[in-house]
Structure 1
Amino acid sequence: MPELPEVETTRKGIKPYTHQQTVAKVVVRQPKLRWPVPTNIAQMEGQLIESVRRRGKYILLETSAGTAIIHLGMSGSLRIVDDGIAPEKHDHVDFIMDTGKTVRLHDPRRFGAVLWTQQNPLKHKLIRSLGPEPLSDDFNADYLYEVSRGRSMSIKQFIMNGHVVVGVGNIYACESLFMSGISPKWQAGKVSKARYQKLVEQIKIVLAKAIAQGGTTLKDFVQVEGKPGYFKQELNAYGRAGERCNNCESTIKQITQGQRSTFYCGKCQR
């Protein structure tokens, strides 16, 4: 599943082709995505895209008439193609600009979404209860410490909770905990503020580095130009079960938490 760095990479990739550009036509070839694509998304036609924002894993194309809310789901991607390029099997929605460029949603599993709202998109039911952005000032050790008190869930599951903080997916949770020296098995409510300070710092560093390098290479993710990201080659824990720890040469372990694989070093992370 594309995580926050991949979605931010996508947002940056489509922005030069959409920001301050007029939507000539919206073509919906397959309306049955995770939720039905609303027919009133046609109201976007003839509108200038005034802003290309991201909130969590949602990309927001804002116009004066309303906002298109796009989620990439498990396998979705947005690609830039020239108008007139024939769609492939899993190309479900096109946003055709009057420049001749098209933003095309490709989604083999159809778990993505294209929605339309005429209200403030940040108050949409899918967005309004999301936690703070991890790279914002609102996400800090004081906040994380306070909301963790009394929580018995593991620290890894806690930071992956989108109502606590958005966008810290499985890969980045494993990496941030490794860099912080915190065991993923610790109860969130028992982690000290000092350790949360280090964890917040590492989450910001890991995510910023992944964004700068174009997202993590996953089986289903490609950038808008069709190129994969490059962060995977620098992973210290995720996907390295049985390999030597880069710090202490102990063996990286793998366990399951919340139906997700967790990778960590039992010596470095305590």
Structure 2
Amino acid sequence: MFKRSFASKDRVTKTVKSAKRSFREDVKMRMQESWDSPLETPLTSPIVTMLVGHEQRLFAAHEDVLSRSPFFEAVLKGQFLEAGPKQVDLPDEEPEIISCVLEFLYKGDYYPRLVHNKRRASWELENAQDIHGTGGRGSSEATIFHSRVGGIILRDTAVYCAAEKYGLEELKRLSLRKQGLQSGIPVDVILRSARYAYDNTPDTDSRLRAHYLALIIRSRKTFKRSGTMQMEMEIGGKLFFDLFVAMSNHIDDLMEMNNRSPKGF
């Protein structure tokens, strides 16, 4: 399931070379190629109401836009306008995450947008706030309070898991790349987010789960000093078995590289 030393084309920390078009334009083109109606097509389909979270926050979206998700397409297929306006109930979802999903469906990205810095030949978040929450426009904080978890987790992880649920592969790719740009995240938030990722992705997922395993390995000095990490490991779970396997593979790779090195160097 996990590649040796996490050498993968999906690795989020990899620097991306200059491209002829922006990431948003690339996503938009892919969406247009895979969907019958391009984003520029006038939206004339019926409005669908959405009740989100335990407070039943009200959202609205065009049926054609929502139907670009296999999940919503299946839900709406069995509803008929003769019986009244179509409605989708999402009591276990977070309003902020649904907002990100809808923004992606309409615009091909969600705030803060991913932009390409041509001078540095790298990707960055548009007007992103720092970890202290200063600067930028609107809310671009890396974390959210998730009511179902009862704690703070990384927002992009929640978006990724929502994209998995709603069958939006491009949104998964986008949210993973954004999460790879975050830094300064506390240990407890990383571990809580990792557990959320494991609880809301299939065992076949080799991107978000591998991202967390690689992150913990790279930050192992910090995690070794963490009492939170010790308590989490005592609880156990598949996350820490996968982490053990990943670290064992990493050590094996290092030993193999050392054995292949010419003697005397």
| TM norm. shorter chain > 0.5 | no
Between Structure 1 and Structure 2, the one with more helix by share is: 2
Q: Which has the greater radius of gyration?
A: 2
Give the alignment's TM-score, normalised by structure 1: 0.28
Q: Tell me the TM-score normalized by structure 2.
A: 0.28
